[in-house]
Amino acid sequence: MTLLRRDCLALLGTLIATGARAAEESASNARDFSFSKPGESGVLPLADFSGKPVLIVNTATACGFAGQLTGLQGLWTRYGMRGLTVIAVPSPDFGNQEPLDGAAIADAIRQSHGVTFPVVDKTHVRGPSAHPFYRWAAAEKPGQTPQWNFHKYLVGRDGSLRAAFATQVEPNDPRIISAIVAELGSA
């Protein structure tokens, strides 16, 4: 590869990264983000859930908190018909407790925990390689970022970040239920 071509490619990469950062910094709410679906099946834009609350949870199949998937399914079953969406975001960031990739993750949690809500592709949720949604959420809720698997973010009907819940807060915790019910009742 010629030096000129390498320089052009480096410049192009910088421009793309700068554009992505600029778009991220100008994001006004969660609806401005999308997650990749497992494999090559496209993206899941959060804009698809406009006017509905969304609970976004970083997950891991080999985590000691994986039992919370059953509780998350319970929320989806109980409140999904009223508009709530739950989205699992598998992450390798905490002890690499997500050893699977692609559709194998969704298959595993469906078989083990009966999950029927959306599961996106394995995604980084912290550090410099964190998904843009997670960088935005960190700016919106400083100090309330994922410290381990099963951190929960509640996105409101209007796309704002309404609440963050630490790993230890179970899906059936009254704080989560109250926040979800408040969002569902704000129609």
Q: In 114-165, which residue ranges form alpha helices assigned H by DSSP?
A: 132-140
Q: Is the separation of the CB atoms in 75 and 84 below 8 Å?
A: yes
| Residue 90 to residue 86: CA distance in whole angstroms | 13
**CA nearest neighbour of 38 among 90, 86, 84, 97:** 90
Q: For this structure, is 63 an active site residue?
A: yes
| Residue 115 to residue 89: CA distance in whole angstroms | 13
Q: Is the separation of the CB atoms in 143 and 111 below 8 Å?
A: no
Q: Catalytic residue among 27, 46, 63, 87, which? A: 63
- In eight-state DSSP terms, residue 61 is T
To the nearest 10°, the Cα dihedral for 77, 78, 79, 85? -20
Active-site positions? 63
